[in-house]
A and B are shown apart, each in its own frame.
Chain A
Amino acid sequence: MITEHLMRPGSGGVRFTPDFPVSKSDAIRALVDENAGAAAVGASLVITPVRVDPTSIGDTATLDAALYTGPIVARPSRLSLEVVGVSSWLDTYFDTAIIRSSGTPAQWVGDLLTNGLTAGTVTAAGLSNVSRTFPAHSATRRECLDAWAGLAGAEYRVNPDLTVDVAEADTLFVSPPTVVVTKRNEGPDGAFRGVDGSLLDQALTQLGPNIATKAVALAEGEGAAIAKGTATRSVNLKTPAGGTPSLITVLSAPSEESANANTLASNFLNLQGMRRQVNVGSRTYGLPRFVSPGDEVYVWDPEAGLFDTSNQIQFRGETIFPILVRLLSYTWPIESGMGVYVRSNAASPTYIDVTDWVEWENGSETWWTVGDWNPPSYGSTNRHAPEIEQRVAGTGQVSQSGTFSGTTNGTTSALVVTHGLPWTPLRVIVQPAFPNGGSPGARFVSANVTAVSSTTFTIGRCIAQDGSLLTSTVVSGYWVAFG
């Protein structure tokens, strides 16, 4: 079985029949066993929808035709191999900081790819240029790619031919859907492809007391000065006694600015409601030929509550109104008729055709995970409001620090600091140096760091030990900027 995810490597494995020739299993071992010396260059599993002859058609054509390419990461036995997705070559840190100011998508993709993965089709339309610094050893290349994609409004797909395509989601993946999953029908139908959804059901999770009626976001500040944002909603749920429930959840976000606290609470509350998930098991042969993670699909099963009257299509002579969801991941069987090979990692790769000895997984379902279609306020819209998504998810945040020294304003005690970053910080925290030159015990109020721009920020108030303002005074300290 092979598991693939949207913008994640996935994993998989293949098993061979007991009559798998030793010559072939040894040849595979020689590629992956370090003790074999220089020959152990590593290898990938390549799966094509029909059997081909890689020797005849060549490496490029074989990979172009492939459904899947995945580096071999384990050989549990002579008769089995385990793989991960080809994008796992990006799960590496880097030694030199990657910095771009208003970098284009093509520039960022070129900066972040490595280990044999190269840029494929990069479509900049609709994407934002991004200014960002990724410090060395701060994150993996994949994490940086995810962070950049979030800021740019992009998604990416790592192809079996080792190229990476980048574009807006609607451009990169199939939208609107061409695949229609139903319980009864499969096969082509004009512009649509019916897929058997023999095991099709709607899962409802986060029910009962697991939902929230109020969210409180604890933003910047300390003690009683913590900035709080709140959001509430009414629900149909009742307590066991028939009353109105009070279910309050709290999110701690100390780096969040006070002005964003309510928005943060609102977005967080959206994630604390009932969640719908569609579970699909399908026996349609060779599903990866028709659909990939990231594609939108229609799913129709009114008996399971899977219908949406805003979508209306003509399918197999009937007007139906299916739900529209995104395929986020699926696990598919390796079925007879496919071609399976082991491809060496080399400038001129060689192929070992293992098709004749694969233990086929015919009859096994392909298990799908499709994205929530409710609540509609989240999802693709906020996917393109990356700052909101990042703050809620808590991912993609990077920081940089520095020092400052300067003379405060003669009237207000404010100090303007030039941070020198190539990006605009979302939040800055300051700390006075100790001792602080001629002003021992000086304090800065971080809550008064304002006017953050692409080049400077302002400490609004510098206070002496006795509580008076430090005007026209040399002060120094440290800053940490978050982006």
Chain B
Amino acid sequence: MTFTIGRASFECGPYGISHDGDRLSFGVNIDGATTTDPVVAKVIRQQMLGLVNNRDEPVVPVTWDGDSDFDGFYRPVAVKVDPFDTYLDAGLMVCTVDLERVGGGYAFPSLELFTGAITRTNSHALTGDALTAVVPDVSNAIRDSSAWLNNTATRACADSAAGVSEVRIFSAEPTLTPFVYSYWLQPSLHYFGACRVEVLVGGSWYELSGRQNWYQQGAWRISNGVVRLTSGEPGTIEVFNGTAWESANIRHVDAAVGALGAHIGLSYASGQSPLLIIRNSPERVTVRCAAGTYAVDYSIQRGAMHVEFSSPIKIGIGYATTTACTAVTGGIRTTSNDASGNRLVFAIAQTNTVDTTNGRVYQSLGGSNLTTGMIGVALDGSGATSFNTESALVNQFIGVAPVTQRVVSR
């Protein structure tokens, strides 16, 4: 039996269920049925407590294979979780949950995407191609204010869901017009292709809910099911090929000297830099790491095949080991397909210096200190589809679509 609420998943069902109009109250246990690992129990506790006062995700899906009437979208009103001591004593933490159904059809509400599209200021005369809407590739179509839309492209997604294996992506050249897309989706698919922040606990990865992160003892990664970035020495960038994840090692570059610099997540051999969650919503996540004079934000947006980074100092990005690259507009790409058959692309929006011998690009000295850049993986390298080529990924980085997703009444 599986019961999910937001990003938390239980191998037991709720109990003490009470319906009062649109209000739903119940209890659910963090116990041996779900996990016997105390640290994992803490993770689940974090996922539950992160449901409340979560500005990034005020409405969450709930599913229960024991009673499909539960399945729908709810607004968490209150969540209480027992102290961790009770789990150590009795192997049990009781969660009491108070939810409110989204009005006008909680089981199948409308999801709205507010988005626009602009060209990121850059020194390469690029206009960009913004990813304005991304949804699971199911028969439900997206509707904008004027017409049903056809998708621009699809990408394989690693999230498991019955009958769905790809995300559908709509893109647009930057324009002033604000977009409002609407679509309908069952709650079980809400997190398909959604962005997430995960931490490595006991050899397994667990999603965090909300912005409160207590866990700073291991690696972290951000993912959207298409591409993911993992911290470490070195860090890794991975792309999902439809069957498995394919990875490459990357590292920051010290812009002052063009040599390898801080690791991804700024973790040094002496320890992990703290992970601060800036945004944790299904459509976009941003995390921040700071150590000494370095501070870097890493972001990933739904459907993207690239990861963004930004820093208030001059910084660069590149391969962790010497790799031959070729200059492209805005940065560099791997000259030849790697062992997985892919090619990486590194780009920086500001004026930059490329090192094609070692596979690095970094912001040139002089000018403003702000660095905004990307790491993309062109799946299938030289054989990539037109939407997934290195130049296309750079354009998708230059085209900015600040998407906000909202669950509303139909």
Contact = CB atoms under 8 A, between A and B. Distances in A.
Contact of A318 (B114, B178, B299): B299
Interface in B394-410: 400, 402, 404, 406
Nearest to A303: B114
Given A184-B55, A309-B176, A312-B121, A317 B286 contact: yes
Contacts of B55: 183-184
Interface string B311-332: 0100000000000000000000
A319 interface: yes
Closest 7 CB pairs of A and B: A317-B297, A317-B286, A190-B312, A184-B55, A319-B400, A303-B114, A317-B299
Given A317-B286, A318-B402, A312 B120 contact: yes
Interface string B269-300: 00000000011000010111000000101110
Majority-rule SS of B interface residues? strand
A210 interface: no
B116 A184 contact: no
Given A314-B370, A318-B299, A319-B120, 10 more contacts: A185-B279, A303-B114, A303-B404, A303-B406, A309-B176, A312-B118, A314-B372, A316-B286, A317-B287, A317-B298
Contacts of B287: 317
A480 interface: no
B310 interface: yes
Interface string A182-195: 01110000110000
A318 B298 CA distance: 9
Nearest to A189: B278
21 contacts: A302-B402, A303-B114, A307-B178, A309-B176, A312-B118, A314-B310, A316-B279, A316-B297, A317-B286, A317-B287, A317-B288, A317-B297, A317-B298, A317-B299, A317-B308, A317-B310, A318-B284, A318-B286, A319-B120, A319-B402, A321-B116
Contact of B178 (A183, A191, A305, A317): A305
A320 B404 contact: no
A348 B12 CA distance: 73
Interface string A304-346: 0101010010101111110000000000000000000000000
A25 B370 CA distance: 54
Contacts of A309: 116, 118, 176
Contacts of B114: 302-303
Among A184, A312, A319, residue most surrounded by chain B Cβ atoms (within 10 Å): A319
Given A309-B176, A312-B121, A317 B278 contact: yes
B137 interface: no
Nearest to B372: A314
A64 B297 CA distance: 37
Contacts of B284: 318
Contacts of A185: 278-279
B56 interface: yes
B98 to A, nearest CB: 22
Interface string A338-370: 000000000000000000000000000000000
Interface residues of A, number: 18
Contacts of B56: 184
A312 B117 CA distance: 12
Interface residues of B, number: 29
Contacts of B406: 303
Interface of B: 55-56, 114-116, 118, 120-121, 176, 178, 278-279, 284, 286-288, 295, 297-299, 308, 310, 312, 370, 372, 400, 402, 404, 406
Among A185, A302, A307, A317, residue most surrounded by chain B Cβ atoms (within 10 Å): A317
A303 B284 CA distance: 16
Nearest to A319: B400
A435 to B, nearest CB: 70
Interface in A266-284: none
B347 to A, nearest CB: 14
A321 B116 CA distance: 10
A184 B280 CA distance: 11
Nearest to A321: B118
Nearest to B308: A317
Contacts of A320: 402
A302 B312 contact: no
Contacts of B115: 302
A319 B372 contact: yes
Contacts of A319: 118, 120, 372, 400, 402
A224 B115 CA distance: 57
A293 B282 CA distance: 37
A305 B114 CA distance: 10
Nearest to A184: B55
A303 B55 CA distance: 14
B118 A318 contact: no
B285 to A, nearest CB: 9
Contacts of A312: 118, 120-121
Contact of B278 (A190, A303, A314, A316): A316
A317 B402 contact: no
Given A309-B176, A317-B297, A319-B120, A302 B370 contact: no
Interface in A411-427: none
B404 A302 contact: yes
Contacts of A190: 295, 312
Contacts of B402: 302, 318-321
B129 to A, nearest CB: 15
Interface string A163-206: 00000000000000000000111000011000000000000000
B170 to A, nearest CB: 17
Contacts of B279: 184-185, 316-318
A307 B372 CA distance: 21
A316 B285 CA distance: 11
Contact of A302 (B178, B286, B299): B178
